[in-house]
């Protein structure tokens, strides 16, 4: 015991350190969220939170479950690869409640021009027209059916 007679000040310092470390661990456990560090230096729960955000675009698979008739028309035409919401806009709400929330019918004069208005930057393979010359301001669906736009032989 005599050996430690003069070491009491060291024990006290050690005690202070230990208290400090314990307090640090307590505060850390209290303040750092449980999921922090699960995958890396971030809160893993935020992944779940972001994944839980609402879906606004229903996706064409959802549309096709009810609108199979339109799908048949579309599949035969040039617009086969164009998804429903590319033209009709986000329809998640309509898919959730089809009877009371009805999508607005797009104005073809505006809608078609978004893609098919001639522009020098557009790739050469893409069919484009100067709408003022092509249709003199008439809406496109005067002649074309948007779901299968080719006039004449079905192609």
Partner 1 sequence: MNMNRRFFITLTGAAAVAWESVLAGAPEASPNYKVADHWWAMLIDVDKCIGCGNCVRACAAENNVPEGFFRTWVERYQVDDQHMEEPIVDSPNGGRDGFPARPGTLPASVKEFFVPKLCNHCADSPCTQVCPVGATFTTPDGVVLVDEKYCLGCRYCIQACPYGCRFIHPEKNVAQKCTLCYHRITKGLTTACCEACPTSSRMLADLKNPNDPIHEFMKKHSVQVLKPQMATGAKAFYANLDGAVR
Q: Quick one: which segment of 36-44, 66-74, 94-102, 139-147 binds partner 1 (CB under 8 A)?
A: 36-44
Query: Which residues are CB-neighbours of 85 under 8 A, at least 6 positions away?
Result: 57, 58, 59, 60, 63, 91
Q: Does 90 bind partner 1 (CB under 8 A)?
A: yes
- In terms of phi and psi (left: phi > 0; alpha: psi -120 to 50; beta: otherwise), the region of 7 is alpha
Q: Does 75 bind partner 1 (CB under 8 A)?
A: no
Tokens representing 104 are 């607005």
Closest CA relative to residue 94, chosen from 138, 56, 121: 56
Q: Does 26 bind partner 1 (CB under 8 A)?
A: yes
Considering the complex, state which of residue 37 and residue 98 has its C-beta at the smaller distance from partner 1.
37
Angstrom distance (rounded) from CA 128 to CA 123? 10
Which listed residue (9, 68, 123, 151) binds partner 1 by CB under 8 A?
Answer: 123
Which listed residue (7, 10, 48, 66) binds partner 1 by CB under 8 A?
Answer: 48
Residue 57, number of CB atoms within 10 A of its CB = 16
Residues that bind partner 1 (CB under 8 A): 11, 15, 18-19, 22, 25-26, 28-30, 34-36, 38-57, 59-60, 79, 81-83, 85-87, 89-90, 114-115, 117-123, 126, 128
């Amino acid at each position: 015991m005599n050996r430690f007679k003069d070491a009491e000040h060291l024990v006290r310092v050690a005690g202070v350190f230990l208290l400090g470390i314990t307090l640090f661990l307590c505060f850390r456990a209290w303040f750092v969220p449980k999921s922090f560090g699960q995958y890396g230096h971030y809160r893993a729960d935020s992944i779940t939170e972001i994944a839980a955000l609402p879906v606004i675009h229903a996706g064409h698979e959802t549309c096709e479950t009810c609108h199979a008739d339109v799908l048949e028309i579309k599949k035969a035409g040039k617009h086969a690869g164009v998804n429903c919401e590319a033209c009709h806009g986000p329809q998640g709400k309509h898919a959730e409640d089809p009877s009371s929330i009805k999508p607005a019918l797009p104005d073809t004069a505006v809608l078609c021009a978004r893609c098919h208005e001639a522009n020098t930057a557009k790739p050469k393979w893409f069919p484009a027209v100067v709408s003022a010359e092509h249709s003199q301001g008439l809406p496109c669906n005067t002649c074309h059916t948007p779901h299968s736009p080719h006039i004449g032989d079905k192609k």
